[in-house]
Structure 1
């Protein structure tokens, strides 16, 4: 379980874990760039909702090419409105990362691609899914799109598809 929140509240939670008793356990503070998946991300959620709303109103996709496993539900969906809603919702709410990975594995998915800074999710995916192959890409430009295409071709040829 990972918790996120204000520094004071996290310090208090860490003290409770270290004190033993009812909340005894292992606690490892993580150095993160933002308080992801908690109410402190509400301003970012509002901005993301605005961007998605603008994109959805101009594009209005009626279906998706691929199903998506939202981290809020860990269930496959291909309904665009649900995908947009849950992508936004996960910004300031807890997620079900382990369950999402388990769903993907149970549906036969065998590799993972991460977009964004760093490789945190790749590491988590490998721990949960027993070393599945994957790749991480920043979202900084065309070169990553080309690299993603090359990775996809290479991974498909390894899988014999």
Structure 2
């Protein structure tokens, strides 16, 4: 069975999508529609922008979404048996599975990016990658930090977990994690504590937008970040999508669930090769490829 997976924030690069725009009429029409919906020329930033410009959350998230979804739309006989997306990538996966229209999903992604940016301003916060320590130990240490918010936010693959919280919470947890044997604790260049309780204002804002959006029954199961389980019911998909901003990304568990359900080939659809690397570390016997 083929699983298509869609990347999240961090996979962007200058020039992304330019070849699609220049060589495919359908892709060009979708990019032009995106400029219209967003109210600015995101294509200009994607094709010619600096790394710094591409790092802005209100650009990064729609840019990666657009690259992923438009790339998927150009694949002949596109019939995934299952889909999943890492954080933001879950929106791309929902479009690929037919649960959301391109236009509605883009509006939600833009709303999500704006809401997350505002939440970062309300609560200055950060994230850090923890390498070489057991998942359960990381969760235990985060829970032991008193008076600060810090949680395990991304279970990317065995030995690679991202923690998220207040600056002081992440610092204190980082010290304890190193004492407990973590090989490295690397601060990440992000604007805030994504996938933590500090994103609650953004979750509330996005929840209203998701509830007001029409979803359809997907053509194949989507394995969602919140619980790493296959979902096909519209209400379940919406609830999981709303919970995603304040809950951890269970990527390790999602890939394992997809393998258990028959996935033998994982195809990454979008910029970069990050997910191919993570999938190989989680399930070494499957094949991986990019589009």
**1:101-124 deviations in Å (ceiling 9; x for gaps):** 101112222114355x76544432
Residue 243 of structure 2 corresponds to residue 89 of structure 1? yes
Determine if contact 1:113/1:134 at 8 Å carries over to the other structure: yes
Structure 2 counterpart of 1:106: 260
Structure 1 counterpart of 2:177: 17
Determine if contact 1:69/1:77 at 8 Å carries over to the other structure: yes
Gaps spanning 5+ residues in structure 2: where? 1-134, 136-160
**RMSD value, Cα:** 2.5
Pairs within 5 Å for 1:1-161: 1=135, 2=161, 3-18=163-178, 20=179, 23-33=180-190, 34-55=192-213, 59-61=214-216, 63-109=217-263, 110-113=265-268, 120-130=274-284, 132-135=287-290, 151=291
Change (3 A) 1:38 1:125: same
d(CA) in 2 for partners of 1:6, 1:84? 28
d(CA) in 1 for partners of 2:250, 2:242? 15
**Alpha-carbon deviation of 1:53?**
1.3
**Which shows bigger deviation, 88-97 or 125-134?**
125-134
Determine if contact 1:125/1:132 at 8 Å carries over to the other structure: no
Change (3 A) 1:32 1:108: farther
Tell me the SS of whatever aligns to 1:133: strand
Name the one with the larger strand percent.
2
Gaps spanning 5+ residues in structure 1: where? 136-150, 152-161
d(CA) in 2 for partners of 1:51, 1:121? 28
Change (3 A) 1:98 1:118: same
* Structure of greater relative contact order (alpha carbons < 8 Å, 6+ residues apart): 2
d(CA) in 2 for partners of 1:10, 1:80? 36
The total of aligned residue pairs comes to 128
Tell me the SS of whatever aligns to 1:4: strand
Tell me the SS of whatever aligns to 2:164: coil
Determine if contact 1:75/1:100 at 8 Å carries over to the other structure: yes
